[in-house]
A and B are shown apart, each in its own frame.
Chain A
Amino acid sequence: DGGITQSPKYLFRKEGQNVTLSCEQNLNHDAMYWYRQDPGQGLRLIYYSQIVNDFQKGDIAEGYSVSREKKESFPLTVTSAQKNPTAFYLCASSTRGPYNEQFFGPGTRLTVL
């Protein structure tokens, strides 16, 4: 089956700890994205990558880091510098170019205690 997987579905961490969220896709998509979703605020773009070994900051990159060493994988690290990390995190992928249908993973709900 082709798709995007995110793991784990639920994640709990203590304040001050870094945590890495996994995102893998087997759709052969060049572009991958990380969004944060908070109630009543829609989706906000954290980081995106159009191609392997390259990525750009989105609208709310502070306190987050990413890597794109493989086409299939785009892990997101939530660092201790992120002031309010508790949220629902969504990963997506798409082909490059003007028609940008993004396919979403099931999401990871991160709770920082």
Chain B
Amino acid sequence: GEDVEQSLFLSVREGDSSVINCTYTDSSSTYLYWYKQEPGAGLQLLTYIFSNMDMKQDQRLTVLLNKKDKHLSLRIADTQTGDSAIYFCAELSSNDYKLSFGAGTTVTVRA
């Protein structure tokens, strides 16, 4: 399958911005997603970006896509304790419409 890579851990102070990075390899990806998983729960879709866009903003969330470098990032402004979770990057292949997930970045918000 396709490879999606993320750093595993991020620690951020409450009120600061968080930036989670992701790289992918499938140049035919159509959509790229960010999911959030709280402890012991399923995944919740946070936001997505279509491959012909380079930025998308949704309240405190900003997604940046660099197709040339196959790099995706999620910025969370004014990070709160409720943002502590695992964040997964995923890409949708246009070949078979399957999602490939990264290993997840565990974000810890400290006071």
Chain B residues 76-90 with CB under 8 Å of chain A are: 88
Contacts of B30 in A (CB 8 A): 98
Number of A-B contacts (CB under 8 A): 57
Complex CA gap A35/B48 in Å reads 20
* Contact indicator B104/A48 (Cβ below 8 Å): no
Report the interface size class on chain A. Answer: 20 to 34
Q: Quick one: given A98-B94, A98-B97, A100-B92, are A42 and B42 in contact (CB under 8 Å)? A: no
A106 lies within 8 A of B97 (CB) = no
> Which of A's residues lie within 8 Å of B, judged by CB?
4, 6, 35, 40-45, 48, 58-59, 90, 92, 96-107, 109
Add 10 more A-B contacts to A43-B88, A96-B97, A99-B31 (CB < 8 A).
A42-B103, A59-B1, A98-B31, A100-B97, A100-B99, A101-B48, A104-B43, A106-B41, A106-B42, A107-B41
Measuring CB to CB, which residues of chain B are less than 8 angstroms from any residue of chain A?
1, 4, 8, 30-31, 33, 35, 40-45, 48, 88, 92, 94, 97-99, 101-104
